[in-house]
Amino acid sequence: MRPGILIVLALLQGAPAFAQDKKWSMTPQLDGKAQEAADEMKALFKKVEARLTEIDQLLYDAGAGDTKLAAVKESGIAELLDRYKTHSQEVQSGIDRIIEIAEQSGGGT
């Protein structure tokens, strides 16, 4: 048998034990401050995604005529635009904060 095959077989023999090792993880272990930053980024990504989904729904409903506004008058469009503007500002703030955290964590270039 060739030496390369023996090495591969030896590595494969130990693979199941390595895969079952509870300490091994695809997610790196972070210190307290880094973990807080990672948790904040996760929460921000979820919030931004939710706001973008809400914006999509607002625009879809407005285009389909399904938006439930107080009355069909000029203030109805103003209300829709105000909600869109508020959601858009929240999305922009969330994205800015995500970028800020990434730069502080050394992820920025």
Q: What is the DSSP string of 5-37?
A: HHHHHHHHHHHHHHHT-TT--SSPP--HHHHHH
- CA gap 69, 77 in Å, rounded: 8
Tell me the pLDDT tens digit for each residue of 4-48: 565 655 555 655 554 555 565 556 666 778 888 888 889 999 999
Q: Tell me, what's the pLDDT at 107?
A: 59
- CA gap 40, 34 in Å, rounded: 10
Q: Tell me, what's the pLDDT at 71?
A: 46
Confidence of residue 3 (pLDDT cuts 50, 70, 90): low
pLDDT at 96 over 50: yes
Instruction: Work out the percent of the chain whose per-residue pLDDT is above 90.
Output: 18
Tell me the pLDDT tens digit for each residue of 43-68: 999 999 999 998 888 888 777 665 55
Asked if residue 44 lies in contact with residue 94, where contact means CB atoms within 8 angstroms, the answer is yes
The stretch 59-83 carries a mean pLDDT of 66
Q: Tell me, what's the pLDDT at 44?
A: 92
Q: What are the CA-CA distances from residue 82 to residues 7, 47, 85 (Å)?
A: 66, 19, 5
